Structure 1
Amino acid sequence: MTTDKHKNGILGTLLAAFATRSIINTTNRFIYPFAPVISRGLGVPLTAVTSVIALNQATALIGIFTSSIGDHTGYKRMMLAGLVILIFGMVLVGFLPLYLSFVVAMFLCGLGKNFFDPAIQAYVGTRVSYKRRGLVVGILEISWAAATLAGIPLAGWIISKMGWQAPFLVLAASGLICLWLVAVYIEDDSRMEAVSGGMKFSIKLNRLMTSMAPLFKNPRALGAMGFAFFVSFANDNLFVIYGAWLENLFDFSVVDLGLGTAVIGVGELCGSMGTALLADRFGLKRSVCCGLLLSGLSYLFIPVSEFSMWAALGALFLIFFSFEFTIVSFISMCTELIPGARATMMSLFFGAAGLGRVAGAFFGGIVWHAMGINVVCYSSFIFSLAGLACLFWGTKKWHPQQQSLDHGKK
């Protein structure tokens, strides 16, 4: 009976986490393909909207200083706070369709994501054995594919029927449902040292910096941050301009872009499922290395795929399949790099990834306009190799702790 209750608890946790991350990922992703229609709705240039992508990703840097609080107060509280922040942002732009409210909304969406993601990854890290973590994290990361495969095409359909601001209100309502799911199905893990009304901000900040300082001297943590930065740079370097590339090359409409993005969703779904089914058996570190090599090489297929729409979509599929397999496998591995500070390590990982995406978003747009798609893809290949070098350097003497391997056997 205890076993059945334990299984039900795990299933409920996965349901709540998967649904919530699908909504969060949709809110942070759907502006990529629909930037043109949003810019027309707001009456601003396209560049004004695409620049918000960098701002959205920059919130990962704030996440470095907030997400590790979960190590001290409990991870569920961080998840709930992230959802409330995101819902507020969606409601703001949904009812007040101005450029300023759009900027604020996307900032809040990014901030909410960077509250929620490190918390749920750390929550899983404390409850799932290392040998099974690839499976569970892989299932959770399928939410990226759900957002791209279902969320973005659905957002495109809603825009075509009800206007550009309608998806924001739909996502806000979905966020409320997710808030209830997290409150009901995620086990309360509040710590005794949770937020005390009289605790001064300076004490909290000092505690945060104290918990982070050792990680900046740890090769494993530094290698993980370097890996996250470079592979995220490489991916957003292309991701930020793929819609314009398809639109210019094949005359894709906004609706076509939404449907074409489903190809990326299928690739991410296959990548996440590959991690869930294969990474634990193949070995997480070996999976990351092989996936990153394939991901880097895949960028080189884009310049030679322009002769056919299907070839171009196939190249995008391969890129996002291999990237997703790589990043999900590494997230599973990253939860064990610093077992005593999982949330802090994950927040640093997501912070470095966010910084890489900010840099990639700026770099990709500028390079594409100045030198074309070829240079964008060659640079993504080079940055992928840099990420691989960071991985080798940071984990050359690392082995997962034996107690994590044995956890859950008893």
Structure 2
Amino acid sequence: MTEQLTTPVPESSSRKLALEMTVAALARLLLNTSRRFAYPFAPALSRGLGVPLVSITSLIALNQLTGILSPLFGPLSDRWGYRTMMLSGLGLMAIGMLAGGFLPFYLTILIALFLAGLGKNIFDPALQAYVGERVPYERRGLVVGLIEISWAGATLVGIPVAGLLIERLGWRAPFFVMGGLALVSIAVLGALFSGGSRRSKHDAKAISFGQAWQQLSRSRTAVGLLVFGFLTSMANDNLFVVYGAWLEESFALGIVALGTATTVIGVAELSGEILVASLSDRIGLHRAIRIGIVLSALAYLFLPIIAQSLTLALVGLFLAFVVFEFTFVTAISFLTEVLPGARATMVASYVAVAGIGRVVGALIGGPLWLWGGLAAIGTVSAAIMMVAFVIFWRSVHIGKG
């Protein structure tokens, strides 16, 4: 695979494509908010439902499992068409959110958030595959980076709006609003987006479920990128799971101050996505990923050294999350060209293994923190990133499967 690859599909008009991507990004902002808003407002949901807080956190944990189901739907997107699956994802979210608003019971809310998470994990791979099909390779980093801003947007815009709705109208209000907006998104996206994938329209037989998995498993590049996604996510969550405890212990931060630190991470995610949109295509996606991996390793390694004050600690965290987001999102742009016949399968699998990597990172982060503090966390995360560098280099340069 080389930087000169381009998509063989004729490009849509720039204006229509820009409008499609704007609508898709707004729909994705909605999906991301529905997936993330339960985290900060777990106490409000707990009080509203009359259940212990642990019941809400268990509900949130169950929602995380939807990412593991993502590979089941990638081949369906490649077979049935990306537009169809994007609409299906939004439909599941609409059903879940409206059900949660109209039926305020614990089981209903559990199902509502599960459907929202499932809808996101159906929508995202289909959208990224659609981008891979319609957008030339040399512009893909720009488009993917702009779309990914919706992830940070959920933290910086969606969740604060949900908080205002809860404060003024009650805990059920976000469910009604997001469910209604999901229906609007379905109508607009359905009218605007081209129907079906390129393969569904031009091939006598669309790719089957088994064929999609066969293509992935036989490609050394594809498998290597999945390992890369697992490792980079594990390295990041190894830090993410303990940064609150570190700031609290080292700088005696309270809840409000920890909330400010979370805002720093949200801004870092946004900055990373903007960097992808503005830089990755210019320097080449492959080179951008390599640079990002090395910078991530350095950020993890030197964070314990430079964090001699709260300001420096927050700067270090900001840099670590900026370069991770830049690397991760650029990799999504890159992998949309690895399996042109099974793009959604590739993206869905990447999302799933990244989710598993986050789980593993969270599991090892706690014990590492207790054993060796931030120095152990930074050293292990840096080492994992360098292993990821080797895997990425070898899979792309040797395994052009």
- With normalisation by structure 2, the TM-score equals 0.84
Partner deviation per Cα, 1:94-144 (whole Å, 9 max, x = no partner): 344444333323322221111111111111111111111111111111111
Instruction: Assess, with a 3 A threshold, how the Cα gap between structure 1 residues 52 and 246 changes in structure 2: closer, same or farther.
Output: farther
Instruction: Assess, with a 3 A threshold, how the Cα gap between structure 1 residues 221 and 264 changes in structure 2: closer, same or farther.
Output: same
74-83 vs 174-183, which moves further: 174-183
Instruction: Give, as a single letter, the amino acid of the residue that structure 1 aligns with 2:141.
Output: G
Between the aligned partners of 1:36 and 1:315, the Cα distance in structure 2 is 30
1:83-232 equivalence runs, <5 A: 83-189=90-196, 207-232=208-233
Between the aligned partners of 1:97 and 1:369, the Cα distance in structure 2 is 40
Indicate the residue corresponding to 1:281 in structure 2. 282
Between the aligned partners of 1:371 and 1:32, the Cα distance in structure 2 is 28
266-275 vs 232-241, which moves further: 232-241
Indicate the residue corresponding to 2:340 in structure 1. 339
1:196-345 equivalence runs, <5 A: 207-240=208-241, 242=243, 249-253=252-256, 260-300=261-301, 303=304, 308-345=309-346
Question: Could you say what secondary structure the match of 1:316 adopts?
Answer: helix
Partner deviation per Cα, 1:264-294 (whole Å, 9 max, x = no partner): 2321222112111111111111111111222
Indicate the residue corresponding to 1:201 in structure 2. none
Instruction: Give, as a single letter, the amino acid of the residue that structure 1 aligns with 2:389.
Output: L
Instruction: Assess, with a 3 A threshold, how the Cα gap between structure 1 residues 46 and 247 changes in structure 2: closer, same or farther.
Output: farther
Between the aligned partners of 1:186 and 1:123, the Cα distance in structure 2 is 10
Indicate the residue corresponding to 1:65 in structure 2. 72
Between the aligned partners of 2:334 and 2:313, the Cα distance in structure 1 is 32
Instruction: Give, as a single letter, the amino acid of the residue that structure 1 aligns with 2:86.
Output: M
Q: 1:323, CA displacement in angstroms?
A: 1.3
Instruction: Give, as a single letter, the amino acid of the residue that structure 2 aligns with 1:343.
Output: A
Instruction: Assess, with a 3 A threshold, how the Cα gap between structure 1 residues 352 and 150 changes in structure 2: closer, same or farther.
Output: same
Between the aligned partners of 1:111 and 1:359, the Cα distance in structure 2 is 21
362-371 vs 293-302, which moves further: 362-371
Instruction: Assess, with a 3 A threshold, how the Cα gap between structure 1 residues 173 and 119 changes in structure 2: closer, same or farther.
Output: same
Q: Indicate conservation of the 8 Å contact 1:152/1:258, yes or no.
A: no
Indicate the residue corresponding to 2:360 in structure 1. 359
Partner deviation per Cα, 1:234-259 (whole Å, 9 max, x = no partner): 23344345556656741124xx6655
Count of matched residue positions in the alignment of Structure 1 and Structure 2: 386
Between the aligned partners of 2:166 and 2:102, the Cα distance in structure 1 is 15
Question: Could you say what secondary structure the match of 1:352 adopts?
Answer: helix
Q: 1:147, CA displacement in angstroms?
A: 1.5
Q: 1:148, CA displacement in angstroms?
A: 2.0
Indicate the residue corresponding to 1:13 in structure 2. 20
40-49 vs 211-220, which moves further: 40-49
Instruction: Give, as a single letter, the amino acid of the residue that structure 2 aligns with 1:333.
Output: F
Between the aligned partners of 2:171 and 2:370, the Cα distance in structure 1 is 26
Between the aligned partners of 1:376 and 1:158, the Cα distance in structure 2 is 38
- With normalisation by structure 1, the TM-score equals 0.82
273-282 vs 379-388, which moves further: 379-388
Q: 1:225, CA displacement in angstroms?
A: 0.7
Instruction: Assess, with a 3 A threshold, how the Cα gap between structure 1 residues 21 and 135 changes in structure 2: closer, same or farther.
Output: same
Q: Indicate conservation of the 8 Å contact 2:96/2:115, yes or no.
A: yes
Aligned: 1:28 with 2:35: yes
Aligned: 1:80 with 2:87: yes
Question: Could you say what secondary structure the match of 1:31 adopts?
Answer: coil
Between the aligned partners of 1:271 and 1:132, the Cα distance in structure 2 is 17
Partner deviation per Cα, 1:31-60 (whole Å, 9 max, x = no partner): 344445545555555555444444323222
Q: Give unpaired runs (5+ residues) of structure 1.
A: 195-203, 401-410
Instruction: Give, as a single letter, the amino acid of the residue that structure 1 aligns with 2:255.
Output: F
Between the aligned partners of 2:188 and 2:342, the Cα distance in structure 1 is 26
Q: Indicate conservation of the 8 Å contact 1:57/1:358, yes or no.
A: no
Q: Indicate conservation of the 8 Å contact 2:307/2:316, yes or no.
A: no
Q: Indicate conservation of the 8 Å contact 1:75/1:120, yes or no.
A: yes
Q: Indicate conservation of the 8 Å contact 2:220/2:399, yes or no.
A: no
Instruction: Assess, with a 3 A threshold, how the Cα gap between structure 1 residues 247 and 40 changes in structure 2: closer, same or farther.
Output: farther
Between the aligned partners of 2:40 and 2:374, the Cα distance in structure 1 is 17
Instruction: Assess, with a 3 A threshold, how the Cα gap between structure 1 residues 132 and 378 changes in structure 2: closer, same or farther.
Output: same
Partner deviation per Cα, 1:187-207 (whole Å, 9 max, x = no partner): 21267969xxxxxxxxx9x93
Q: 1:10, CA displacement in angstroms?
A: 0.9
Instruction: Assess, with a 3 A threshold, how the Cα gap between structure 1 residues 242 and 180 changes in structure 2: closer, same or farther.
Output: farther
Instruction: Give, as a single letter, the amino acid of the residue that structure 1 aligns with 2:295.
Output: L
Between the aligned partners of 1:370 and 1:54, the Cα distance in structure 2 is 26
Indicate the residue corresponding to 2:4 in structure 1. none
Q: Indicate conservation of the 8 Å contact 2:81/2:200, yes or no.
A: no
Instruction: Assess, with a 3 A threshold, how the Cα gap between structure 1 residues 174 and 240 changes in structure 2: closer, same or farther.
Output: farther
Instruction: Assess, with a 3 A threshold, how the Cα gap between structure 1 residues 274 and 50 changes in structure 2: closer, same or farther.
Output: same
209-218 vs 38-47, which moves further: 38-47
Q: Indicate conservation of the 8 Å contact 1:156/1:258, yes or no.
A: no
Instruction: Assess, with a 3 A threshold, how the Cα gap between structure 1 residues 321 and 45 changes in structure 2: closer, same or farther.
Output: farther
215-224 vs 388-397, which moves further: 388-397
Between the aligned partners of 1:57 and 1:120, the Cα distance in structure 2 is 20
Q: 1:397, CA displacement in angstroms?
A: 3.2
